[in-house]
Amino acid sequence: MEREAVLVGIDVGTSKVCALIGEVSRDGRLTIMGHGTVPASGLKKGVVINIDQTVRSIADAVERAERLSGWKIDRAFVGVGGQHVESLNSRGQVAVTAHHREVTREDVNRAIEVARAVSIPSNRDVLHVERRGFTVDGQEGVKDPLGMSALRLEVETHIVTASATAVQNLTKCVAAAGVKIDELVVDSLASAEAVLSETEKELGVAVADIGAGTIDLALFQDGSPFHTRVLPVGGANVTNDVAIGLKTSIQVAEELKIMHGTCDLRQIDEDEQISVSVLGEDAGRTVSRLEVSQIIEARMRETFELLRNEIRAAGVGMLPAGVILTGGASQLAGAAELGREVLQMPVRVAAPAGIGGLVDTLLNPSYSTAVGLLQWGASALAVGEPNRYESAPAGGGIGRLRDAIRNIFP
């Protein structure tokens, strides 16, 4: 296999930090060479609240991945999450300047610059400026206008921003763990790389990455994202409800949820009891499996209602390809069925696909963001120019990234 580059993705989540090392072959195939996953401390709902603890978590995950792969990590694609992530769509229009009136890359870049010039508060950083499509002299839906004859070029972009201080704190933690940042990528767009097909993105689809503390949501249509949001609820809320409802510890509640819980109450025998004594509680205590699942179902129903409201608020009635659930908390039994009932559209749970190497543990919805970060890097590399996604200078810029990679692999 001709090796093109070695890339690293670091997903800094509420409950875990995961570092993945992957190599990209010349034909764009991604092979995982090393991974390190450690429980996260120092984060709340995807945002850094304790620098030292977060640095330690990142450093531990990096060290494990290095040990497994025999590769030294010095730079990485890093995921950004948290409720402070927001998005807007903006259009930019320019006159085509070349004397033969043909659209050049220069025109495209000028149009994107105009679109980017929307007033974004100084306390926010632009993470992504995604091109959605172009309008050439009134002709809409143009994917790539280069070389077309035109007088006027208009671009529609999707701009994702994040709180500048939250981004600075995350950047600080990654740097203190000894890693440079190639690019900051919003978690939901990274997860989308891992679990969505091009067809789904064209038709119209939502990816909802349900983590421990947050849901990273991205809506796609015509092949590109048009709405990106983070909702401040996740699997930990379900566990907390179970712990409060059954007056038990978080650890016991988490285990009950994973081993015995379901969102689908039809499948439960009313008399079924679960013995809690095995979980190190007072001997012989039993709880009703129906009661556990009723608590879970109520919280998950509320979660799907929040998702439904967010999708409607984005101005979408129906997404033909439905909602793709991923992330650790999407693995709750019965989640897709309950999602279909509440959202009234197709819902399925997806894990990362299309990777080789040490993947047994990674083909699991909880690794979608981490795998997606590597796939994002691989796509950026494959394009060979910042055509696929214009990345903001704050994020490291694909151009600089490419130079860096050229330096590692001549």
Query: What are the tens digits of pLDDT across the range 30-51?
Result: 999 999 999 999 999 999 999 9
Query: What are the tens digits of pLDDT across the range 267-326?
Result: 898 889 988 765 555 666 889 999 999 999 999 999 999 999 999 999 988 899 999 999
Which pLDDT score is estimated for 18? 97
Of all residues in the chain, what percent carry a pLDDT higher than 90? 76
For tokens 């997806």, the residue is 350
What confidence category does residue 5 fall into, taking pLDDT thresholds of 50, 70 and 90? Answer: confident
**Would you call 359 helix, strand, or coil by DSSP?**
coil
Q: Strand pairing partners for 32?
A: 22, 357
- The total number of residues shown for the chain amounts to 410
Q: Per-residue pLDDT averaged across 50-71, rounded?
A: 96
Which pLDDT score is estimated for 385? 41
Closest listed residue to residue 54, CA positions, set 190, 169, 179: 169
Which amino acid is present at 245? G
Closest listed residue to residue 209, CA positions, set 329, 97, 298, 49: 329
Q: Per-residue pLDDT averaged across 106-116, rounded?
A: 93
Which amino acid is present at 271? D
Which pLDDT score is estimated for 307? 96
- Cα–Cα distance measured from residue 37 to residue 141, given in angstroms and rounded to the nearest whole number: 42
Contact 354, 30 (CB under 8 A): yes
- Cα–Cα distance measured from residue 178 to residue 180, given in angstroms and rounded to the nearest whole number: 7
Which amino acid is present at 133? G
**What does the block give as tokens for 310?**
């967010």
Query: What are the tens digits of pLDDT across the range 311-364?
Result: 999 998 889 999 999 999 999 999 999 999 999 999 999 999 888 887 778 889
- Cα–Cα distance measured from residue 318 to residue 321, given in angstroms and rounded to the nearest whole number: 9
| Tally of helices (H runs) and strands (E runs) in the chain | 11, 20
**Would you call 210 helix, strand, or coil by DSSP?**
strand
Q: Where does residue 118 rank: exposed (0-12), middle (13-18), buried (19+ CB within 10 A)?
A: middle
With the C-alpha atoms ordered 104, 109, 112, 114, is the resulting torsion angle positive or negative?
negative
Give alpha helix (H) positions in 261-334: 289-313
Closest listed residue to residue 231, CA positions, set 359, 379, 47, 45: 45
**Would you call 33 helix, strand, or coil by DSSP?**
strand
Beta strands 16-25 and 3-12, pairing class: antiparallel
Query: What are the tens digits of pLDDT across the range 372-387?
Result: 999 999 988 776 544 3
Closest listed residue to residue 216, CA positions, set 330, 122, 102: 330
- Cα–Cα distance measured from residue 125 to residue 115, given in angstroms and rounded to the nearest whole number: 15
**What does the block give as tokens for 49?**
């609240």
Query: What are the C-alpha distances in Å from 5 to residues 162, 241, 362, 369, 374?
Result: 29, 45, 20, 20, 11
Contact 192, 207 (CB under 8 A): yes
Higher pLDDT pick, 27 / 140:
140
- Cα–Cα distance measured from residue 228 to residue 83, given in angstroms and rounded to the nearest whole number: 11
Find out if CATH 3.40.50.1950 is the number for domain 86-163: no
User: How do the domains of the chain map onto residue ranges?
Assistant: 86-163
Contact 109, 186 (CB under 8 A): no
